[in-house]
Every structure is written in C-alpha cells, then in structure tokens.
Amino acid sequence: MRALGLMTCGALLLSGCSFTTASGLTECETSADCASAQVCTAGFCLPQPEGCGDVFGPTSAANPIALGAALPLTTTEGPDESEAQALNAIKLAIEEVNQREGINGRPFVLYICDTRADKDRARVQAEWLVKEKEVPVVFTSGSGQTIAASSATIAAGALLMTHTATSADIATLQDTPQGATAGLVWRTAPSDTLQGRVIGDLLRGRITVAETTQPFAGVDHVAIAYVDDPYGQGLSAAVARRLDTQQVDTGKYNRNGDVTPAVTLISGSPADITVMAGFSEDNAKIVSQLAAQGRTGLKWFFTDASKDRGFFTLLGTSRSQVEGAYGTAPAQARPGDDVYRQFDLRFRAAYNNTSPGQFSYTAHAYDAMYLVALGTAYAAGADAARPQPITGARIAEGLARMTPAAGVSAPAFALGFGDFIEARNAMRNGTVIDVKGASGELDFDATGEAPSEYELWKVENGAFKTVQLVNPPAD
C-alpha cells in the first residue's frame, strides 16, 4: 500500500485524479491493506464508523453479494449474548446458502457493525453501509434502533430486515417507494400489539396455564416498569389496555441509564405481580437493587427481551430472585416441529451444543437471512447470464411473493438448507411460493409483517422452560 500526496496527484491528472487522492489517503486492494479503523472503499482506505469492521463470508470471492448488519452486540454492561446468538443464526444461514452456490454462483458477505444499543449510532452505521458499502439489505435489531436506521435505508432504497423489532410503530413507517408494490421494511418478529394481548389475557386469567396451579389467579393489581423507547412504550400500553379490570401502576426509565424510577415504583407498589417491559441488562439492575433494599420474593413477569441466558449472569447473586418467574416471547422452541428441529440440530452442531431455544429470536434471525436470500434470487432473475439488478426494491418484491393470497395454493417450502435449491429456482422464475420458517408460519401482510404464536416460559433451575404455546387472541 502507499499514500498518494499532492505531487503524485499531479502526475495522475490525466487519469482522473480526484481531491481524495490529494488528501494523503492510502491506496488499497483489500481492507487488510488499511489501518484497523479503516476499510478499503473504491481503492482507498477510508474511515469507518465506530463499531464497524467485522466481515463474515468469503471476502476474497470475485463478485460477492454484500449485506449489512447494524446490531446491538454489546451494551453498557458488556456483550449481549442473545444478540450474539441471533447473529450466529444469520451466519449459519449464510454458510448454508453459500455452500449451495449462493445466488447465480455469487456468495453472500456480511458487513457487521455493533450499535452498542445506541439508536444514533445505528443510524450512522446504516447510512455508511448503504452509501459506502452499497449493500441492498441491512439487518437491524431493537425497535428504537430499527426505526432510526430506517431513515437511512429507506432514503437509499435499501431493504431493512429485522428479526427482533416488535414495536407497533414499525408498521406505520412510510417505506414504499413511489410506484413500488412492496415496502422496504420487513420483520420476522411479530408486533407487540399481539404480545400485549397475550400478557394481558394471561394476567386476567383468560388463558388456562398448562400447570397444576394457575399462577395468575387472583391478580388484581399489576405494576408495569418499562423502558422509555418505542419498544417499552408500545408494549406497556398494549398490556395496560388489556388489563381493563385490574388496577395498574406504571413507571418508565431510560435504557442503560438510571433505573431508580422503576425501583421506586416497584418498591412502593402493592402490586400482585410486576411486568418488566425492558431489556435484560436494565431488568437485572432493577431486580438486584430491590433485593439490596430487602425487597425479595417479588412476583415477576418478563417480556421477550429478557429471554436471554446472559440475564442470569447479569443478576449474579440475585439470580434466585427470578426463579419461578414467567415471561412471554414470540415462540422459539418447538421440539415437535420439524423445521425448528432441523434448525436446532444445525445450530447446536455449529455452536458448541448451544440451545437456540434459550434465547429470543434466534429462529427469527435464521429465517430472516433465508428470506433475504430467496428475495435476492427473485431480484437476480432467471437468466444467470443477464442478471437483473439486485436492489432493495426488487428484493422486497420477492419477499411479497412468499405469501400466497388467501385461498390460492402455492408450492410450499421450509426455510433451511433442505428446500433451498428448489425454493431458489422457483423464486428465480417468479413463482409465488409459501414458506414456513424455524420461527413458524410466515404469512406476511401488505406491511411486511407476519403474526406468530407466543411461548409462555418459566425460569426453572436457572434456565428458560417453555410451558406452552399461545395463539394471540383477537382484539
């Protein structure tokens, strides 16, 4: 590698030397030629946003299909194990697709950025991915970060795919380009409108729990502590709306900040149970601070963002305080379902026998990558010698062809390596197909959303045990 200065630029004027070469930038062939905080872009080492730099896939391939990911892999408390396992699920899907010649012989490469759970950082990273790396797809996680990143991806015409963002606000984003038939924001995670109904009906005793005793019988007073962002605001409101016969106390706090408002609310409330609509790192601090005050033996109900094995690590000596607690999440562990079972076996084999069912959204992340791969096959088209442009809008058109209209039959495929080649061929030819994922049926509506079963889980011996699956009740 070499730095180009002003004299070098003068000698290169006839070849179109630009201002960038006159600025002392370094030429490169790959990012290995650049400093640790730089990436090789258009032949020069350029700064990359903080948190970016990791790349997964065959970077030396002649013509890879680049994808981007802006994910909260760490928080103020350290690594987020649940997010790391979801990323592992995406990587597993990429490996399986690449082993089957990708799309028209082109493998996928994933550029990875760590948002540190900061929505402003997520927006900057997403903008860099779509502008500098020119990716047609960005994977995101978390409702607040997804909404922030969408401002950059939609403006650039890139598809945004999220496997965890559940805020009802996401369905209202103006993401359909003029003249297009499909929007640019999609998610495999269902809306919290549904989770709110499930939690509310459980606490009202309207759903029979598959245990010898009904754990929510006699719940007359509920406290809800929620993180003050689109996820916590929407979910807490949906739960409170459903609890029309109970007394409800609510309190908010800032993510990765001072949790005193939540601690004060719970400490002073005579509630029969407390719903924690927040993330595992904050919930662990709240539980631990209450235990330090002598407020032990409280009854807890957690939401999807706390179904994270790292939650127990963060609790430390307060781990016993959540033993026997319940929670909900979009259904993960389905040992009786063959699509999930195949994913579970592959995930365990790839990642030291780690159970994906001990985390939220691993199956949803795996499905998200397979959907993107099939959407890309549609975008590229049937003629490998004359492929069509792989754009966010064309991939979105492909995603819209994976749910047949009501009453219309279509070839059915499971998301995973077993059906991938046949499904890819069908999508290349423009066939409407019907897909089922490791996360369940994926019947997308016009806004790019699919409903889901929910699992009621229970903390038992320091692990998450699935008690039963629940279909969301009607509004």
Say if residues 426 and 164 touch (Cβ distance below 8 Å): no
Closest CA relative to residue 134, chosen from 398, 391, 393: 391
Q: How confident is the model at residue 15 (pLDDT cuts 50, 70, 90)?
A: very low
Mean pLDDT over the full length of the chain: 92
Check pLDDT > 80 for residue 370: yes
- Percentage of residues in the chain with pLDDT exceeding 70? 95
pLDDT for position 45:
84
Q: For residue 38, what are the β-bridge partners?
A: 47
Q: In angstroms, how far is CA 201 from the centroid of its own chain?
A: 26
Specify the amino acid at residue 251.
G
- Percentage of residues in the chain with pLDDT exceeding 90? 85
Say if residues 136 and 159 touch (Cβ distance below 8 Å): yes
Closest CA relative to residue 398, chosen from 408, 388, 407: 388
What is the bridge-based pairing of β-strands 137-140 and 159-162?
Answer: parallel
Q: For residue 54, what are the β-bridge partners?
A: 112
Check pLDDT > 90 for residue 5: no
Check pLDDT > 80 for residue 20: no
Say if residues 251 and 222 touch (Cβ distance below 8 Å): no
pLDDT for position 475:
83
* Mean pLDDT in residue range 383-394: 95
Domain boundaries of the chain, sorted by first residue: 1-46, 48-189+361-441, 193-333+452-470
Which residue is associated with the tokens 């070499």? 2
* Mean pLDDT in residue range 373-393: 96
What is the bridge-based pairing of β-strands 38-41 and 44-47?
Answer: antiparallel
Lowest mean pLDDT among 40-49, 423-432, 434-443: 40-49
Closest CA relative to residue 276, chosen from 231, 217, 318: 231
* Mean pLDDT in residue range 448-452: 88
Closest CA relative to residue 202, chosen from 119, 275, 254: 275
pLDDT for position 12:
32
Q: How confident is the model at residue 251 (pLDDT cuts 50, 70, 90)?
A: very high
Query: Do 193-333+452-470 and 48-189+361-441 have the same topology in CATH?
Result: yes
Which residues does 383 contact at the CB level (< 8 Å), separation at least 6? Answer: none
pLDDT for position 42:
72
pLDDT for position 333:
79
pTM attached to this predicted model: 0.90
> How would you classify residue 117: left for phi > 0, otherwise alpha for psi between -120 and 50, otherwise beta?
left
pLDDT for position 127:
97
Check pLDDT > 70 for residue 22: no
Cβ count within 10 A of residue 451: 18
Check pLDDT > 50 for residue 471: yes
Dist. CA 42–CA 133, nearest whole Å: 9
Q: How confident is the model at residue 447 (pLDDT cuts 50, 70, 90)?
A: confident
pLDDT for position 36:
66
pLDDT for position 474:
87
For 90-99, write each residue's pLDDT tens digit.
999 999 999 9
Which residue is associated with the tokens 């790396």? 133
Sequence-distant contacts of 425-428: CB under 8 A, at least 24 apart: 427/374, 427/375, 427/377, 427/378, 427/398, 427/401, 428/377, 428/378, 428/380, 428/381, 428/382
Dist. CA 70–CA 146, nearest whole Å: 9
Residue that wins the pLDDT comparison between 363 and 5: 363
Specify whether domain 193-333+452-470 bears CATH 3.30.1490.190.
no
pLDDT for position 71:
98
Helix 143-156 and helix 230-242: axis angle, to 10°?
Answer: 120
Check pLDDT > 90 for residue 2: no
Which three-class secondary structure string do you get for 414-434? Answer: ECCHHHHHHHHHHHHCCCCCE
Which residues does 118 contact at the CB level (< 8 Å), separation at least 6? Answer: 72, 145
* Mean pLDDT in residue range 430-441: 96
Cβ count within 10 A of residue 405: 7
**Which CATH superfamily hosts domain 48-189+361-441?**
Response regulator (3.40.50.2300)
pLDDT for position 448:
86
Q: How confident is the model at residue 209 (pLDDT cuts 50, 70, 90)?
A: very high
The secondary structure element, H or E, covering residue 223 is: strand 221-227
Check pLDDT > 60 for residue 472: yes
Q: How confident is the model at residue 33 (pLDDT cuts 50, 70, 90)?
A: confident
Check pLDDT > 90 for residue 161: yes
Q: How confident is the model at residue 23 (pLDDT cuts 50, 70, 90)?
A: low
Neighbour-count burial for 96-123, b at 16+ CB within 10 Å, e otherwise: bbbeeebbbebbbbbbbbbbbbbbebbb
For 265-323, write each residue's pLDDT tens digit.
999 999 999 999 999 999 999 999 999 999 999 999 999 999 999 999 999 999 999 99
What is the bridge-based pairing of β-strands 221-227 and 273-277?
Answer: parallel
Dist. CA 132–CA 275, nearest whole Å: 42
